[in-house]
Structure 1
Amino acid sequence: MASTSKLISISILVISVAGGILLFYLMSELPKEQRKKMIGEMVSQLVNFVLFMWAGKVLLNFSVFIKDPMAILAYPGDSGAFYAAVLFSGLLLTYKVKRGQLEGLAVGKAFVHLLLLAAFLYEFIQYAWNDQIYSLGSLIILAILLGGFTYLNGRMATGKLLGLLLTVWACGMSVLMVLQPYITVFGYMIKPWFLLLFFVANLLLLLKHYRKDGRYGWN
């Protein structure tokens, strides 16, 4: 039963990400060739994220891994592995941007759009199919953010838009953390310290572009 539950959870996640990619392709304002290129880059980074999660599982459970590798590798990672993958992915993307291999803001905007779409689909499936009542709050927040992205995209400078959306997400999830016994992102439990770090990082991003682009940052 446990293995079946994990397979169902993974299937929902895969369906959500695939659906998010499809919706991104249909909704993006980018030219067709750029959309394909951006999707290819995002898929590559998602694969890296999965690999980083495996690496995180091994590092966080190294003593168990030495004794029984399959006990670690055969199952999805926990929240600790998720945090490690976020850290490693962030470092890799920062490195690529610094080296000029990626256009940071363009990729960031595409990623945020894709992840909002995928997360909305994931929470909708959890709420409608699995009767996860705590997914409703996340659904509302994601719907607001998607609406905000759609309205402000092209009207607000990209850096400021990303900082605003992610800061609002962190604030919304903080409210849910007070109202609910737990909050999750794609099924992974989110702890207060992670949310605080995420909030501070994106608030700094918002302030940086506030100073750079002016008070409103409209294009």
Structure 2
Amino acid sequence: MVSAWVVTKVAYVVISIAAGLIFFYVTSPLVKSEKKQPLEESVSLLINFVLYIWVGKILLNIDVFITDPLAILAYPSDSDAFYAATLLLFGNVIYKVKWKGLNIGTIMSSLAPVFLGSAFVYEFIEVVMNDSTLAWGHLGLLFLLLLFFLIFHERQSSVATAGGIFTAWSLGQLILTFYLPYTTLYGYMMTRWFLVLVFILSMTNLIQNKRLRS
């Protein structure tokens, strides 16, 4: 039963990410040849993130993994594994920016639409397939952010728009925690400290980008 649940969740995530990549490709104002690099970077980061979730789950349960590895691999990942994967992904991005010369703006501007599209599709699946009433709050927030993105992504800097999206999303999710028992992202529960951290980092990046442009 647990294995079937894991397979179903993985299928939801894969479908959602595919939808997010399509959304980026369709809405990006870049010409076809210029879309290749940011699209490849987004796919690379998303694949790494999925792998990091498994790594995080193993590291957090290393004692059980040594004695019974199949038990860990078959059991669903929890929020702690998600946070560990986020930390590892952040380290990966820092490495690419400092030693590979990748522009942080390129990463954010490509990840923002992928994130919005994939998260919206995931929550929509939760509502339709699992009749999840708790998903409505996050779904509504994502719908508003999608409208914001479609209206402003060609009028303003893509980096500024991306920073605004991640700032607004984390703030919106934080507000939802006061009205709902819990909020989730791709099925993982989000704690307030994590959302506050995302908000601070996103706001800092937004302010720095504004200073550079002025």
Cα displacement (A) at 1:46? 1.4
Q: How far apart, in 2, do the equivalents of 1:38 and 1:109 lie?
A: 8
Which residue number corresponds to residue 183 of structure 2? 183
Which residue number corresponds to residue 4 of structure 2? 4
Q: How far apart, in 1, do the equivalents of 2:160 and 2:23 lie?
A: 23
Partners of 2:127 and 2:135 within 8 A in 1: yes
1:1-219 maps to which residues of 2 (within 5 A)? 1-214=1-214
Instruction: Between 84-93 and 160-169, report the one with greater CA deviation.
Output: 160-169
Label 1:163 to 1:69 Cα distance change in 2 as closer, same or farther (>3 A).
Answer: same
Partners of 1:52 and 1:84 within 8 A in 2: yes
Per-residue Cα deviation, 1:71-109 (whole angstroms, up to 9, x for no partner) = 212334211111111111111111111224422212211
Q: Give, as a single letter, the amino acid of the residue that structure 1 aligns with 2:163.
A: G
Return the TM-score normalized by structure 1: 0.91
Partners of 2:163 and 2:205 within 8 A in 1: yes
Cα displacement (A) at 1:138? 0.8
Q: How far apart, in 2, do the equivalents of 1:213 and 1:77 lie?
A: 41
Q: How many residues align?
A: 214
Instruction: Between 116-125 and 151-160, report the one with greater CA deviation.
Output: 151-160
Cα displacement (A) at 1:124? 0.8
Cα displacement (A) at 1:197? 0.8
Instruction: Between 190-199 and 24-33, report the one with greater CA deviation.
Output: 24-33
Q: How far apart, in 2, do the equivalents of 1:117 and 1:66 lie?
A: 38
Q: How far apart, in 2, do the equivalents of 1:173 and 1:65 lie?
A: 33
- Identify unmatched segments of 5+ residues in structure 2: none
Return the TM-score normalized by structure 2: 0.93
Label 1:5 to 1:58 Cα distance change in 2 as closer, same or farther (>3 A).
Answer: closer
Cα displacement (A) at 1:35? 2.0
- Identify unmatched segments of 5+ residues in structure 1: 215-219
Partners of 1:38 and 1:107 within 8 A in 2: yes
Q: How far apart, in 2, do the equivalents of 1:107 and 1:202 lie?
A: 13
Partners of 2:108 and 2:163 within 8 A in 1: no
Instruction: Between 78-87 and 13-22, report the one with greater CA deviation.
Output: 13-22
Structure ranking higher on relative contact order (CA contacts 8 Å, 6+ apart)? 2
Cα displacement (A) at 1:176? 0.9
Instruction: Between 150-159 and 123-132, report the one with greater CA deviation.
Output: 150-159
Cα displacement (A) at 1:111? 0.7
Q: How far apart, in 2, do the equivalents of 1:83 and 1:172 lie?
A: 19
Cα displacement (A) at 1:44? 1.5
Partners of 1:53 and 1:85 within 8 A in 2: yes
Per-residue Cα deviation, 1:101-158 (whole angstroms, up to 9, x for no partner) = 4222122111111110011111111112211111111111111111111222132233
Label 1:49 to 1:185 Cα distance change in 2 as closer, same or farther (>3 A).
Answer: same
Q: Give, as a single letter, the amino acid of the residue that structure 2 aligns with 1:73.
A: L
Q: How far apart, in 2, do the equivalents of 1:7 and 1:54 lie?
A: 14
Instruction: Between 27-36 and 177-186, report the one with greater CA deviation.
Output: 27-36
